[in-house]
Structures are given as structure tokens and as C-alpha cells.
Amino acid sequence: MHRVAPDEVRARIGEPDALTRMKKFGHIDAHVRRFIAHSPFLTMATADAAGNADCTPRGDYPGFAKVLDERTLAIPDRPGNKLADSFTNLAENDGIGLLFLIPGMIETVRVNGRAWVTDEPDVLARMQTEASTPMLAIVVEVAEVYFHCGRALLRSRLWDADSQALAAEAPTMADVVADLVGGDVETITKHVRAGYRELF
């Protein structure tokens, strides 16, 4: 398969306009702070020392990621699958990329920077909920922030109610587990749902 070189890519897609170049900045301003305060979901991309990439979803109540100051934010680590891929990657390579979403909104916010894991009590206390206080958090030192236009979400029809019908055509977690280790799909479904309830 032919690989397109970077200079060929630029020649084909053209140059960004002046406004697009201006939208990238190196700190969290009032607009980004407000967006993050209303976002209940983000995706987090990391990579290990060899460049093997991983992207994980993170979600909680709106504003679960906390802006500590204009160049720093923190993301709580809530109970999950315990694979800790992101933690392992950050120990080898501190680069990180975040994509914040708000349900119903087509624009997103992207944050790139460097990150590390902390157990600083003052940071964790800011992310306490009625359910629990996280044991760990990921602190992000912001290098680049920008709003991303809504073309991808418009094309995908992500927030359209009719798009939810696609879920019926996809395999469930229970289907996958049953194929991997055997067992009854209905029983596995009950087990998975019980596990989800324990997260709250």
C-alpha cells in the first residue's frame, strides 16, 4: 500500500486559513474553561516509549476534569478495567492528547501537552463525589488548546437519535466475552450490568 509523504499530504489538502491558525493557543482561556466545566466525557491518547499508541474513554459528571490553572488540568482515575495502559504509557512517554465532548454540541475541545500521575491530596479532594474520592489523578501540563469544528460530528450524526439504532447491529460486551471464554450470553449480560452499577 502506497504511503503518502507529508509534503504530498500538504500539497493535496492545502494550507489552513489564518483564522484556523489563530485558534491554537497555549493556555486555557475562559471559553475553554467553561467548555471543560460542562463536559462529561473525553478521550485520552497516550503512547509508550516505542510509539505504540492507546486511546481510552474517560467519563463522569460534567466537569469531572478540573482546570487547576490556565496551564494545568487534572483528570480523576475512576474504577475501570485495571489494565492501567495510560499509566504505563505516561511512565515511558509523558505526551498526551485529550478530546472533550459535550452531548448535543458539535464542536469539541482538543488539549495537547505533557502529563504525569499524582496522588496529591489537595488535587484528589477537588474531584471528590458522593460516591468516592479517586486514589489517583492524571495532571496535564497544557501545551496547546483549541476548539475543533463540528464537521466530523455532523457527518457522523453522532447526536441524532436515529443513530442509536446502530447499537442494535453491533456485538455487545456479553457477545464478545461468550466467544472468548464461553458461557451463556444472558448470564454474562447480568454480570456485566452488575459491574457497571458498582462504578457508581
pLDDT digit string, tens, across residues 103-128? 999 999 999 999 999 999 999 999 98
Low-confidence residues in the chain, pLDDT < 70: 22, 131, 198-200
Residues 119 and 175 in one domain: no
Q: Given this model, what pLDDT does residue 109 score?
A: 97
Residues 41 and 128 in one domain: yes
Residues 99 and 21 in one domain: yes
Handedness of CA 86, 90, 93, 99 (dihedral sign): positive
Residues 61 and 122 in one domain: yes
Residues 151 and 176 in one domain: no
Cross-sheet strand order for the sheet of 66-69: 53-59, 41-47, 95-101, 108-118, 137-148, 72-76, 66-69
In a domain, residue 3? The reply is: no
How far is the C-alpha of 98 from the C-alpha of 36, rounded, in Å? 11
DSSP 26-94: SS--HHHHHHHHT--EEEEEEE-TT--EEEEEEE-STT-SEEEETTEEEEE--S--S--HHHHHHHH--
- Structural domain boundaries enclosing 184: 170-198
Residues 189 and 98 in one domain: no
In a domain, residue 163? The reply is: no
Q: Given this model, what pLDDT does residue 198 score?
A: 64
Q: Given this model, what pLDDT does residue 147 score?
A: 94
Helix (H) or strand (E) holding 19: helix 18-22
Residues 55 and 147 in one domain: yes
Q: State the amino acid at position 79 in one-letter form.
A: P
| Partner residues linked to 99 by β-bridges | 43, 110
Residues 27 and 88 in one domain: yes
Residues 109 and 44 in one domain: yes
In a domain, residue 7? The reply is: no
Total structural domains within the chain: 2
Residues 151 and 181 in one domain: no
Residues 106 and 181 in one domain: no
Q: Given this model, what pLDDT does residue 24 score?
A: 84
Residues 109 and 182 in one domain: no
pTM of the shown model: 0.90
In a domain, residue 184? The reply is: yes
In a domain, residue 6? The reply is: no
